[in-house]
C-alpha cells in the first residue's frame, strides 16, 4: 500500500522547535452532524461608556483614558512583569533553579471605535497600527532582550475586552519559544549558511501546496508542521530580521496582507474569527546588540482554535497535553480552504 499524506497517519517535524506533530487525516472522514450557524452579526457599539479602553472612560485604577483619535498605548494596569523587582537568591540545587524576571507590559489600542477589528479596519488604519508597533519596538528593544508584540482576539482566546487592542510585553530574558528558535535557526545557519526561513519560503514557493497569500514582500502559508487547524505563518520575503527593519513599502504591503488574511479568517466561518498572533524576530537589547542576527527572518504566527464552525473549536487536551500535538485536517487542506475563501470583501459588507 502506497503512503498518501492526505489519507494516512504520519508525523511532521517543526524545524523551528524540534518538536513533532501527529497528523491523522483519516479522522476527517468521521461523520459530523453538528449544526451550521448563521453568519455572526457585529452588535457591539462603536462607543461603550463602561469599556475602559474607550476614549474618555475611566479605567478601574482611576486613570481616565484620553480622547484618542488613532492608536493609544499605555502601561498595563495589571502587568505580569515589572521593571523594579528584587533579584532572587542563587540556588546550587539543580532541581530548584530560579532566575530574575524583569520587564514591562503595555496595552495598545488599535482604534477608538470598539466595534472594529483588524479585518474591518482599512489598510491605511492597519498601517498606523504597524507604525506604532515599530515605534514601541524601537523604544523597548534598546533596553530589553525580547519585545513580544501579540494580539489575543476573541473571548475564546482569553481576551477580556472586545475593544481592538494588542499587548506588548518586554522581557529582560529570552523566553522559551524564542530561545528554542534562536538555537534551531542558528544551528541551521551554521550548517547551511542560509537562514532557515528564507530556504523555507523558497521551498513553499516551489511546491505551491500550502500558500494562502503571496506578494512581493510577504508570504502567508499554513506551515508544513502546523499544529492548529488553520494556523498560518506570515513571513518576510526580504529577509528582514526585526519589525523595525521594514521599509515604507514593506509596511504598506504588510497592512494589505494582514487585512486580507484576517478577512479570510472571518469569512471562513462568517464570524469574528478568534486567534492569538504575535511577531518573532531577532533578539534585542544590550546583550544581543552586537551579536549576529543573520540566522533570523522576521515572521508572525497566527494560532486560531476554530475547527469546523464558529462554535466548534480544537482543544489541546489528553494525548496532546500528555504526549504530542495532533491534528486531523492536513495543512494542505487547510491552506486550500483559506486560499479559496474571499480575502477582499468582508462578509459583513456583503
Indicate which residues carry an active-site annotation: 165
Axis-axis angle for helices 248-269, 123-141 (nearest 10): 120
Query: Grid coordinates representing 203?
Result: 521551498
Buried-exposed string 337-348: b where 16+ CB fall within 10 A, e elsewhere? bbbebebeebbe
Query: Grid coordinates representing 27?
Result: 479522522
* CA dist list (Å): 140 to 80, 109, 161, 277, 350: 16, 17, 25, 19, 41
Query: What CA–CA distance (Å, rounded) separates 347 from 268?
Result: 9
- CA-CA-CA-CA torsion sign (89, 92, 98, 101): positive
Query: What CA–CA distance (Å, rounded) separates 221 from 301?
Result: 10
Query: Helix, strand or coil for residue 156?
Result: helix
Q: Residue 110's Cα: distance from chain center in Å?
A: 16
Q: DSSP readout, 271-290?
A: S---EEEEEE----HHHHTT
Phi, psi of 27 (to 5 degrees): -70, -15
Amino acid at each position: 500500500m502506497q503512503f498518501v499524506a492526505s489519507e494516512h497517519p504520519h508525523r511532521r517535524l517543526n524545524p523551528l522547535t524540534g518538536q513533532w506533530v501527529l497528523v491523522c487525516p483519516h479522522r476527517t472522514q468521521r461523520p459530523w452532524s453538528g449544526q451550521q450557524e448563521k453568519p455572526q452579526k457585529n452588535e457591539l457599539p462603536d462607543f461603550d461608556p463602561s469599556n475602559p479602553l474607550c476614549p474618555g472612560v475611566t479605567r478601574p485604577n482611576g486613570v481616565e483614558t484620553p480622547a484618542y483619535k488613532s492608536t493609544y498605548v499605555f502601561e498595563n494596569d495589571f502587568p505580569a512583569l515589572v521593571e523594579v523587582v528584587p533579584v532572587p537568591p542563587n540556588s546550587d540545587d539543580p532541581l530548584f533553579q530560579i532566575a530574575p524576571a524583569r520587564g514591562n507590559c503595555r496595552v495598545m489600542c488599535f482604534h477608538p471605535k470598539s466595534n472594529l477589528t483588524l479585518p474591518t479596519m482599512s489598510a491605511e488604519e492597519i498601517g498606523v497600527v504597524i507604525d506604532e508597533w515599530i515605534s514601541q519596538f524601537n523604544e523597548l528593544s534598546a533596553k530589553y532582550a525580547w519585545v513580544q508584540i501579540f494580539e489575543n482576539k476573541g473571548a475564546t482566546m482569553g481576551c477580556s475586552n472586545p475593544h481592538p487592542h494588542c499587548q506588548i510585553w518586554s522581557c529582560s530574558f529570552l523566553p522559551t519559544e524564542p530561545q528554542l528558535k534562536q538555537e534551531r535557526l542558528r544551528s541551521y545557519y551554521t550548517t547551511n549558511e542560509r537562514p532557515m526561513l528564507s530556504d523555507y519560503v523558497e521551498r513553499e514557493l516551489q511546491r505551491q501546496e500550502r500558500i494562502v497569500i503571496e506578494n512581493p514582500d510577504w508570504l502567508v502559508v499554513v506551515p508544513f508542521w502546523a499544529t492548529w487547524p488553520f494556523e498560518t505563518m506570515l513571513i518576510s520575503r526580504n529577509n528582514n530580521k526585526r519589525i523595525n527593519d521594514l521599509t515604507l513599502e514593506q509596511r504598506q504591503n504588510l497592512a494589505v496582507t494582514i487585512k486580507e488574511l484576517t478577512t479570510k479568517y472571518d469569512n471562513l466561518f462568517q464570524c469574528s474569527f478568534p486567534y492569538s498572533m504575535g511577531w518573532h524576530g531577532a533578539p534585542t537589547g544590550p546583550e544581543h546588540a552586537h551579536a549576529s542576527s543573520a540566522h533570523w527572518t522576521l515572521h508572525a504566527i497566527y494560532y486560531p482554535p476554530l475547527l469546523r464552525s464558529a462554535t466548534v473549536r480544537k482543544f489541546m487536551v489528553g494525548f496532546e497535553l500528555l504526549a504530542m500535538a495532533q491534528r486531523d485536517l492536513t495543512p494542505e487542506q487547510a491552506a486550500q480552504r483559506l486560499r479559496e475563501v474571499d480575502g477582499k470583501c468582508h462578509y459583513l459588507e456583503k
